[in-house]
Amino acid sequence: MRMFSHVVVGCLIGMIYFGIGNEASKVMSNSGCIFFTVLFLMFTAMMPTILTFPMEMSVFVREHLNYWYSLKSFYFAKTLADIPFQIVFSIIYVAIVYFMTSQPLEVTRFLMLLTMCVMTSLVAQSLGLLIGAAMNVENGVFFGPVASVPILLFSGFFVTFSAIPSYLQWVPYISYIRYGFEGAMLSIYGYGRAKLKCSEAYCHFKNPATFLEELDMDQGRYWVDVVALAGFFFLLRIVAFLVLKLKLKLDK
């Protein structure tokens, strides 16, 4: 089901945004396509984990209390089993969207975008694991989307960093979607990309650097986004492990 959804939605987005990747007059639509790509991979990674992990927890607690295996073994196996599938699904989706929407045919840019999407989905999956470990299904299904709202609001797509009030400018730094979206935009429009084609009389964003300035991403660094997402991934995985450990102590 997950693989089917990635293929179908990937084809749908590819048809909606078909061939706009190198068109200067449609950079706003293309940024929407990229943002939706990050958003789709985030929710398809987070929500199934929130739904399934609490059900797995009941089996795990019973078998762990029977001394069949340790928490470390279960958690390590769970991580190793989930990550390959998430990577493969992300590769399939990104490949379909990337080539159907005519993004730059450069191996480096494709791999940079793919890395951002994969890492964002892995962080979202880790967040889903934490929510699933801490809550039951009913609370998790409600809390997951609600907790994602501020993360999305400060992603850089709905409001630029300079437009955010000074007392809230610290919030984007704890939004992992902000790093994923910024890294994705830098992959497509950054690092000296040539001028875009313009099918109209005037295209303000013919130079990709101008568009990044409009989004307040011209000073962004791809490697900083990679490090930030890696940090979120390990932090959330460690916190989820500690939550599971605490729940086991309470159940004994």
Q: Where are the domains of the chain?
A: 2-251
Return the SS3 of 220. coil
At 40 the pLDDT is 92
Q: How far is CA 176 from CA 63, 75, 122, 128, 213, in A?
A: 35, 23, 11, 13, 21
At 187 the pLDDT is 92
Closest by CA to 129, choosing from 177, 41, 57, is 57
Does the pTM surpass 0.85? The reply is yes
75-131 pLDDT, tens digit per residue, is: 888 888 888 888 999 999 999 999 999 898 889 999 999 999 999 999 999 998 888
Closest by CA to 148, choosing from 3, 40, 240, 29, is 40
45-81 pLDDT, tens digit per residue, is: 888 888 877 777 778 777 877 778 788 888 888 888 8
**Does 195 score more than 80 pLDDT?**
yes
Residue type, 170: W
Report how far residue 251's alpha carbon sits from residue 21's, in angstroms, rounded to the nearest whole number.
Answer: 53
At 251 the pLDDT is 64
- pLDDT averaged over every residue in the chain: 86
What mean pLDDT is predicted for residues 208-233? 89
Q: For the chain, what percent of residues have pLDDT higher than 90?
A: 33
